[in-house]
Chain A
């Protein structure tokens, strides 16, 4: 029996098992096992930044336990959605108005000095806090806290509806402070609405 197993990407939770006679049995697996078959696809998805969706996909366990063994380090972004790879515009081509003309320089560097540091701000802050906590109080402290964060992150509405993230905010202490993320670009007042079916499919990894 061969079970296709891999690491990194979360895909649909079915394993394809081939018996000794070559018959393929499909079985819904209790664990999300990841298929690492298509390197190009994995690379493509790895570089395309879908930060919150990825966290949501890795952390939300609709029908099982998620396995993201790399922890916080894997959530740090080292690039932003980039011109050539996985173009973000309509019909899969470069949206010149938004991201400028494609060039090698554009593709290698983020376009605003703050873009990368802002994307990584929360994971970096968490990493720093957890490592300090680990040094002071021992391994159990960050482990317990991270468990609580994972549980709180799973409390979400449907992908196309705005979630309040109340539990997560309370854990992080964001319910007692106001920052730019509360004032600017409020997702509840976004002028663009995504197509609900596509967003749900994207979240489930079917798209």
Chain B
């Protein structure tokens, strides 16, 4: 149906038509508005001798309710770059997907592996453009031809680089462990244990972080994404599926009766194939 008040095609991108209406409705429906799913989370990263270790918990909350017990917060960006995301779950997902697509196009065009600084710059420009309305705090880690890198990008576009970083609601707890245990040029096992301990501190001391701990190890040789690295001790024992495997019940006797079918009626309908 053609509308006579549409005089030009709508512009692509974000549409602000309803902003005024939403502002008017601000105080009216507070109780019934669905809260966005936040990853209210603990994420951390550490640079060690051969690469970068990233860690994250797996809880996604929707205000006071746990929305997802096994959500994946370590996102793939490029074969050599991974990103942990804290903040609004949808924002981190889509932003990292956009970033990954852009870097893939770049790799295909130039035939090179993307560098971590490229990812950081693209993210910074994108997040600054939207002035913090996209609530994504990200920790990017990767190994490229210039070395091992770890960066954090805030929702307003601020960038920080340090050998160890933590973000999310449990970052203070995690940072305490990191500050205490970090040494330059750690070995792989020590680095994994340090990140695990940091995320564990966040899980224990922050309400919005919990459940399992995921670890992702990036080195020159490849990526090791361990999901889960540590399972929560409060694991749910309920079954999600009530399907019993074959052999649960013992078979006592078996009788096979073939069913004979006889043709009762036959009708032919011609198809018009002209």
Binding site for B on A (CB under 8 A): 50-53, 80, 88-90, 97-101, 106, 110-115, 117-118, 121, 159-160, 162, 176-187, 190, 192-196, 198-199, 202-203, 207
Contact = CB atoms under 8 A, between A and B. Distances in A.
Contacts of B126: 179
Contacts of B21: 97-100
B10 A184 contact: no
Interface in B58-98: 94, 98
B8 A52 contact: yes
A100 B18 CA distance: 9
B16 A115 contact: yes
Given A115-B19, A118-B13, A53 B102 contact: no
Contact of B7 (A162, A186, A198): A198
The interface centre, meaning the residue of A89, A111, A184, A196 with most chain B CB atoms within 10 A of its CB, is: A111
Given A181-B12, A198-B7, 15 more contacts: A53-B7, A98-B17, A98-B20, A162-B9, A176-B105, A176-B109, A178-B101, A179-B13, A179-B98, A179-B126, A184-B13, A185-B11, A185-B12, A192-B3, A194-B8
Contacts of A50: 7-8
A195 B7 CA distance: 8
A101 B24 contact: yes
A88 B131 CA distance: 28
Contacts of B5: 88-90
Contacts of A162: 9
Given A178-B105, A185-B14, A195 B4 contact: yes
B3 A194 contact: yes
Nearest to B3: A192
Complex A-B, nearest 4 residue pairs according to Cβ-Cβ distance, in ascending order: A181-B13, A194-B6, A112-B19, A100-B20
B121 interface: no
A199 B8 contact: yes
Contacts of B102: 177-178
Nearest to A119: B11
Nearest to B105: A176
B133 interface: yes
A157 to B, nearest CB: 10
B2 interface: yes
Interface in B1-43: 1-21, 23-24
B131 A113 contact: yes
Interface string B119-135: 00000001001110100
Contacts of A179: 13, 98, 126
Contacts of A207: 7
A180 B102 CA distance: 12
Nearest to B6: A194
A114 B9 contact: no
A8 B189 CA distance: 70
Nearest to B95: A180
Nearest to B109: A176
B25 to A, nearest CB: 9
A112 B8 contact: no
